[in-house]
Amino acid sequence: MSENKGADTKQVKVKSDEVLRQELGEEGYQIVREKGTERAFSGKYWNEKAPGVYRCSVCNNPLFSSETKYDSGSGWPSYWEPVEQDKVITESDHSHGMVRTEVLCSHCKAHLGHVFPDGPQPTGLRYCINSASLQLDEEKGE
């Protein structure tokens, strides 16, 4: 799992802290801008089964598909890969006395969660993502 810090160089208009707090609430803001983590089994998408695309709650960048979502037992929405590799970027995270790989939105740099090498095949990865970082764009049936 290599870091891809410069995967997407598009410039995105960044919302002000005040606007983000209004749109996401204090907990959502704390997660996406201050690298927080929601409690396990508390986010709105950890057990969501509806088909669709999970987008960044800050900039609407498409991040993950319900087709790659699976029940990891962790209490957070988990995916084995993003919709496209350039939709997310990773950075080393040495906080809380641990070494982890942080996952960020490639467009607006919102903190999404972490990726671990203990997921299912075909990638063997588990993108463990905070619900507050996501907005589900549900597919509508015919």
Specify the pLDDT at position 12.
58
Where helices occur in 1-142 by DSSP H, the ranges are: 17-34
The answer to whether residue 56 is catalytic is: no
In a domain, 27, yes or no: no
Tell whether 3 is covered by a domain.
Answer: no
Q: Which domain holds residue 62?
A: 43-138
* Rounded distance between C-alpha atoms, residue 89 and residue 102, angstroms: 8
| Angle, alpha carbons 30-39-1 (nearest 5°) | 80
- The answer as to whether 21 is a domain residue is no
33 occurs within a structural domain: no
- How many angstroms separate the CA atoms of 50 and 62, rounded? 16
Active-site annotation holder among 56, 105, 108, 128 = 128
Is residue 84 assigned to a domain?
Answer: yes
Number of domains in the chain: 1
Task: Please indicate, yes or no, if residue 88 is contained in any of the structural domains.
Answer: yes
Whether residue 13 lies inside any domain: the answer is: no
- Closest CA relative to residue 72, chosen from 123, 110, 36, 125: 125
105 belongs to a structural domain: yes
Per-residue pLDDT tens listing for the chain (142 residues) = 444 444 444 555 678 889 999 999 999 999 999 999 999 999 999 999 999 999 999 999 999 999 999 999 999 999 999 999 999 999 999 988 889 999 999 999 999 999 999 999 999 999 999 999 999 999 876 5
CATH number, domain of 86, equals 2.170.150.20
| Residue reference for tokens 């037992």 | 73
